[in-house]
Structures are given as structure tokens and as C-alpha cells.
Chain A
């Protein structure tokens, strides 16, 4: 079978899988951004309980494998009476895992805001909450976006794992088509290409645009 015949027969199925992959990507990205902001801030708290909770969370999710967490959410949580749909389990596991990595980035970003800004806010008698909200947080974005962009590309790659808990995404479809046709080179090659295209021509340019936007917002210009 020529490659074009393969594409015309199985292309639509793979595109459907791609849509699911993008859904997983978007949902888990939103979740991970929220989690990283919350836990990044908690990590810097002076309250030992709050800080300890965040540290345990971060070390736990960074210390174990994403696949293990995914299987744990999908196969073990039902034992405790909490049955998650495969899609939800996938999004939650990826979101929480990457949230732990993101929290460290946020923490680093907050600490990297120049000391003068903190002192300025202090001198103007801002409350700690207002200082964070009005002065510090708006300035962390140009600092955290480059590493966060890397992390988001990693997240796109990690979405392939949800296929192993039966989410019908691009990887799942590729595996399925492979087991029907045994045209491994074509189906896995196509899947690899699709992931590459998403990352190289959509995700990375978008993140780059965000970086430029964030830098401009605080009056920096990047090439």
C-alpha cells in the first residue's frame, strides 16, 4: 500500500485522535498552570504547614514516574470509591505532575524578581498580598515563561501516555491501526510527524509569542 493510500484510509481516524490529544493538552495545561501558581506561592509561605504541604506535594510528584501516577489515578482510585473517567484521570495526572515541576519554576521566578521591587513595595506600605498581586506577580511572567514553555512542550509529549489508560488519542489510534494493518512504519511515522508538527509549528510559536508579549508588558524587548 502506498503512503497516500494509507493516509486516505487511516488519516481521518488519526486526525480524530489528534483532536483528543489537543483536548488533553489544553485541559492539562490549564490545570498545571493553576497548580503551579498556587503551589509555587505556597512553597514561599512562611507558615511551616503550608510550606511543608507544598514541599511534600512537589517532591512526591517529581519523585515518581508520571506513568505510575497515571495508573494509580486510573486503576487504584476506584478502590477508594473514586472512579475517574480515563480522560479525566489522564488530565488530572498530567496536570498534577507538571504542576509540581511548574511550581518550582514559579518559585524561582518570584525569587528572581529584583530585591528593589520588594523594598519599593515595602516602602510604599503595601500589604504582603497587594505586593504580590500588584508588584511581584506581574513581573514574574517574562522570567518564568521560557522554562514554562519547555515544560509545556514536555507536557505535549507526556499526553501520549494517556493512551495507556485507554484514552483514544493519537497514540492510541496509531497503536490500533498498527495492530490492524501491521504497517508500523506508516502509522507510527505519521504519529511522530503529527506530534512534531503540533509542537514545532503551533505550540512553540504560540509560546514564543506569549514570551514576547510578557516581556513587552514589563517594558523589555526581546529579539
Chain B
């Protein structure tokens, strides 16, 4: 066992790693889509005027937010079959990630809605706009730019948490690295390549999100061109 970095080995395993990266990106994308919808559901639960629904909703959100994603994955993966529901590792992983990050996204949505000044609502009431119209034309367009940084951060967050899926056997990047490493008994190159792939994807993503945030703010007139 030597600490030499072996280029031939690294190049040999690179194609399979890049293929597995596609799985990781796919998992992050699907997980994020589910989380975005689940977040809306939790937001609805939070904003309904029925007190008991609010309370239950809050407890569920608190519970999911304060327990580790890893055990939630195990829970969904191992417990559902006991009730006769057998799902593939992929489906289990996507459900769990969707639920877990849905709670976070609901907080982002809530913060964004509350970030719209109350006077906007009052003005709409004064203009006799319907609630739906108010949301669609006045509130949501203003809430959206507030939500973008948070939503973007959790996209990157989900991407970085996808390696956890390997623990239940989803064949994503980290799983591929562990498999390759175990086969050749060389972990230096696979894990380093994983790290580099993550860096090359998540740093541009973060920069890109910052750029969108700026553009949206610019379009909304929140900041002026000169301020950039």
C-alpha cells in the first residue's frame, strides 16, 4: 500500500465514475422536485386557519428536521416492507429526501411569503382584488426573489446529501466509488475523484444561483445596475 497517486488507475475508473455522476445528478433533481412539492404541502398545512392542523404540521416538520436523514432512510427502506409495501431503493431514497428537504423548503417559502410587506396585502384589499389574484399578481412575484437563495442552497444541499443514498444501495457516485475501491482495494483515487467531481459541480452551481438571484433582483428593481 503506497501513497502514490496512480494516474493509470484514476483514468481507468474515471468513465464509470462519470456515468455514476449522472445518477447522482438525476437523484438530486428528482429529490429536489419532490421536496419542492412536499414543501408546498407543508406550507399549506402551516397556513390553514385550522389550529389543530397547524400544530400537527409543526410537530411533523420539527420531527423530520431534527432527526438524521440517514436513519430516516433506513426507516423508510426497512420498515415499509414490514407493512407489505416493497419499494426499490431508488424510490425509498427519493421519498425520504423529498420529505426531509420538503420541511426545509416549506420554511424557505414561509420566510419568502412573510417577507412581502403587509401593506401590499392591504393595498390589494383596498383595490378589491380576490385572494387568488393577489397571490398570483402581487404577492408571489415579490416572494419569489426572496425564496431564490434559500431554494438554491437546498438544491446544492440535496446534491451533497445524495451520497447517503449509497447506504441503502442506490448506485450513485459514492456507491460506485466504494465498489471500485473495494474491488481494487485502492480508496485514494476513487474517493478523491468523488470529491473533485462534487467540487466541480457544486461550486459553479453556487455561483450560478448567486447570478440568478442578482438577475431576478435586477428585474424586480430591488437593486440598481450601478450597485453591482
Q: How far is the CA of A159 from the CA of B1 in the complex (A)?
A: 30
B66 touches A185 (CB 8 A): no
Report how many A-B pairs have Cβ atoms within 8 Å. Answer: 114
B195 touches A188 (CB 8 A): no
- A interface residues (Cβ-Cβ under 8 A, vs B): 59-60, 62-69, 71-72, 75-76, 78-81, 153, 156-161, 163-164, 171, 174-175, 178, 184-185, 188-189, 191-192, 195-196, 199-200, 204
Interface residues of B in 157-208 (CB under 8 A from A): 160-164, 167, 174, 178, 181, 187-188, 191-192, 194-195, 198-199, 202-203, 206
8 contacts between A and B (CB under 8 A): A65-B161, A67-B174, A72-B191, A76-B192, A79-B187, A185-B79, A188-B79, A195-B71
Q: How far is the CA of A63 from the CA of B195 in the complex (A)?
A: 9
- The closest CB in chain A to the CB of B1 belongs to A79
Residues of A within 8 A of B2 (CB): 79
B163 touches A68 (CB 8 A): yes
Interface residues on B, range: 35 or more
B192 touches A157 (CB 8 A): no
Q: How far is the CB of A102 from chain B (nearest CB, A)?
A: 16
A195 touches B66 (CB 8 A): yes
Q: How far is the CA of A156 from the CA of B160 in the complex (A)?
A: 17
B195 touches A64 (CB 8 A): yes
- The closest CB in chain A to the CB of B198 belongs to A64
| Partner among A72, A175, A184, A199 whose Cβ is within 8 Å of the Cβ of B66 | A199
A65 touches B174 (CB 8 A): yes
Q: How far is the CB of B27 from chain A (nearest CB, A)?
A: 13
The contact string, 1 if C-beta is below 8 Å from chain A, for chain B 66-83, is: 111111101100110010
- B interface residues (Cβ-Cβ under 8 A, vs A): 1-3, 62-63, 65-72, 74-75, 78-79, 82, 160-164, 167, 174, 178, 181, 187-188, 191-192, 194-195, 198-199, 202-203, 206
| Partner among B66, B69, B188 whose Cβ is within 8 Å of the Cβ of A76 | B188
Contact flag A60-B199 (CB < 8 Å), given A65-B160, A160-B70: yes
Chain A to chain B: the 6 pairs with minimum beta-carbon distance, closest first = A184-B78, A160-B68, A199-B66, A188-B75, A75-B187, A157-B68
Instruction: Knowing that A65-B162, A65-B198, A200-B66 touch, tell me 9 more A-B residue pairs with CB under 8 angstroms.
Output: A59-B203, A63-B199, A65-B163, A79-B188, A153-B65, A156-B66, A161-B68, A192-B72, A195-B66
Contact flag A196-B198 (CB < 8 Å), given A66-B160, A178-B78: no
Residues of A within 8 A of B72 (CB): 192
Residues of B within 8 A of A189 (CB): 75, 79
Q: How far is the CB of A9 from chain B (nearest CB, A)?
A: 19
Residues of A within 8 A of B195 (CB): 64, 68-69, 72
Q: How far is the CB of B111 from chain A (nearest CB, A)?
A: 13
Residues of A within 8 A of B181 (CB): 75
B70 touches A71 (CB 8 A): no
A76 touches B191 (CB 8 A): yes
Q: How far is the CB of B80 from chain A (nearest CB, A)?
A: 9
Q: How far is the CA of A72 from the CA of B1 in the complex (A)?
A: 16
Q: How far is the CA of A171 from the CA of B67 in the complex (A)?
A: 11
Residues of A within 8 A of B178 (CB): 71
Contact flag A196-B75 (CB < 8 Å), given A65-B163, A72-B191, A79-B2: no
Residues of A within 8 A of B78 (CB): 178, 184, 188
- The closest CB in chain A to the CB of B78 belongs to A184
